[in-house]
Amino acid sequence: MKYLVIGLGNIGPEYELTRHNIGFLVLDKIADQQKVDFSLERHAYKSEFKYKGRSIHLIKPTTYMNLSGKAVAYWMQELKIPKENILVVVDDLALPFGTLRMRPKGSAAGHNGLKNIEQLCGGQEYPRLRFGIGNEFGKGQQVDFVLSRFSSEEFKELPMVMDRAGEMILSFCTAGIAQTMTQYNQ
């Protein structure tokens, strides 16, 4: 069985530790734990490892957030992975910081990366892991908020929440989405 896990984010040092890049950060953490490296390939930084008989492919699109669908569509086709075996890790303003929620499908909820995946991969019917980043911003400050770095308090909690996200991803690939949602959704 093959799985494709997509961490959403933006490439470049100015985005590295921002809220919008939590997908990249979670995949970096998994790669460290699995002792694998990313290499620059077509439309993405890519890595892969074996886990409990599964081939798990990780990608961090190099297309920038708003064009993430291009990388997702390419790698789904290249690796011949069906939609139900992909998992998109994405930041979510609607969830309090540190809340993790896996869903089998859903709307883009205004997230441009998810909108582009919907357009290029045929709809909303794909699993995603939503990582709550909170919504501590004033009117008209949403873009600045998602492109800003985590607060010092959030940085202290981040490793623990990212470990939990990693556990959820591995559970998705081995136990399936229903069991993972039952066990982990908060």
Separation CA 154–CA 66 (nearest Å): 25
CA 30 and chain centroid, separation: 11
Which 3 state secondary structure label does DSSP give 71? Answer: helix
Separation CA 118–CA 69 (nearest Å): 7
Angle between helices 112-121 and 68-79 (to 10 degrees): 40
Where b means 16+ CB within 10 Å and e means fewer, 13-38 reads: eebeebbbbbbbbbbbbbbeebeeeb
CA angle 128-29-125, nearest 5°? 10
Separation CA 50–CA 53 (nearest Å): 6
43 is a catalytic site residue: no
Catalytic residue among 20, 43, 57, 111: 20
Residues taking part in catalysis: 20
